Amino acid sequence: MERCLKSYKFLCVAAAAMLLAGCAAPSANQYYTLAPEPASAPAPAPHGRLAYALSVQPVKIPAQVDRPQIVIGDSTRPAQLQPLNHSLWAAPLADEIRHALAGELSQRLGVPDIPLGTQPRGLPVWRLDFTVDRYELIYARAAVLEATWRLAELRGGTGHESVRVCRALAEVPARTGVAPLVAGQRLALQHIAALIAGQISGHGEAPATGVTLEGCT
């Protein structure tokens, strides 16, 4: 009898704990994207025949941030990372970066991003391989993006020309909150895209504030 009373008491306590946990359940998940905001003006239409096309390859990212959750850091504890279980990327982070990068380049250059090998015969294609070396969201401080990219001009499938490998670091200040950090990463990616677009078009501009072009080979 005593054992039954103890079991009943345990079940009551457990049920109460579950009820309290349900009452204290966190808010619904929030989803974020790096996709650029709709442009105020459409991309310039090419005059006549396209001079070239762009092919952005799948992006490589660090394993530490390759997860659905947004991962933030603390400037006072640089060795610690915190995944935010209710702040999630709308798509896998590598896909988010590739989509945002391709969209930004297409907008700046006025050319399409196409799968490699699908271009019309004789149309040059700039192939872009993009590797993220650092992807940091430092809470209430900054978004940091360091990346290496390889540009190769493919002419009619006969080989590579104008091969270039570069590396850059972009740091954008960010206010408190997840949304400002995501916006900072979006802007950092746009700054690096501006460097890449300048290399493709031959009309390079000086790096934006907070951006360092660490070198090209």
Based on its alpha-carbon atoms, the radius of gyration of the chain, rounded to whole angstroms, reads 23
**Cβ proximity of 168 and 162 under 8 Å:** no
Within its chain, how far is the Cα of 35 from the centroid? 9
CATH of the domain at 88: 3.40.50.10610
User: What's the structural domain count of the chain?
Assistant: 1
- Nearest 10 degrees: Cα torsion 78, 80, 84, 89: 60
Measured CA to CA, the distance from residue 58 to residue 95 in angstroms comes to 7
End-to-end CA, the chain:
82
Residue 15 confidence (pLDDT): 39
* pTM of this structure: 0.83
The pLDDT of residue 19 is above 80: no
Measured CA to CA, the distance from residue 89 to residue 31 in angstroms comes to 5
Other Cβ atoms less than 10 A from the Cβ of 18: the count is 10
Asked whether residue 95 is domain-assigned, the answer is yes
pLDDT in tens, 21-35: 344 445 699 999 999
**Cβ proximity of 115 and 45 under 8 Å:** no
The pLDDT of residue 94 is above 90: yes
Which amino acid is it at 102?
A
Please, which pLDDT band fits residue 5 given cuts at 50, 70 and 90? very low
**HEC string of 116-171?**
CCCCCCCCCEEEEEEEEEEEEEECCCEEEEEEEEEEEEECCCCCEEEEEEEEEEEE
26, two tokens: 């966190």
Asked whether residue 141 is domain-assigned, the answer is yes
The pLDDT of residue 95 is above 70: yes
The CA-atom distances, in angstroms, between 102 and each of 28, 51, 152 are: 31, 17, 15
Asked whether residue 62 is domain-assigned, the answer is yes
Residue 11 confidence (pLDDT): 36
**Cβ proximity of 54 and 114 under 8 Å:** yes
Asked whether residue 8 is domain-assigned, the answer is no
Asked whether residue 102 is domain-assigned, the answer is yes
pLDDT in tens, 43-76: 555 556 889 999 999 999 999 999 999 999 998 8
Q: Which residues contact 161 (CB under 8 A, 6 or more apart)?
A: 152, 153, 154, 155
Asked whether residue 22 is domain-assigned, the answer is no
- Nearest 10 degrees: Cα torsion 172, 108, 151, 48: 180
Asked whether residue 152 is domain-assigned, the answer is yes
Residue 192 confidence (pLDDT): 98
Measured CA to CA, the distance from residue 172 to residue 207 in angstroms comes to 13
pLDDT in tens, 179-217: 999 999 999 999 999 999 999 999 988 999 999 999 999
Please, which pLDDT band fits residue 13 given cuts at 50, 70 and 90? very low
Residue 191 confidence (pLDDT): 98
> Domain range spanning residue 118?
52-216
pLDDT in tens, 128-160: 999 999 999 999 999 999 999 999 999 865 555
Residue 6 confidence (pLDDT): 41
Asked whether residue 148 is domain-assigned, the answer is yes
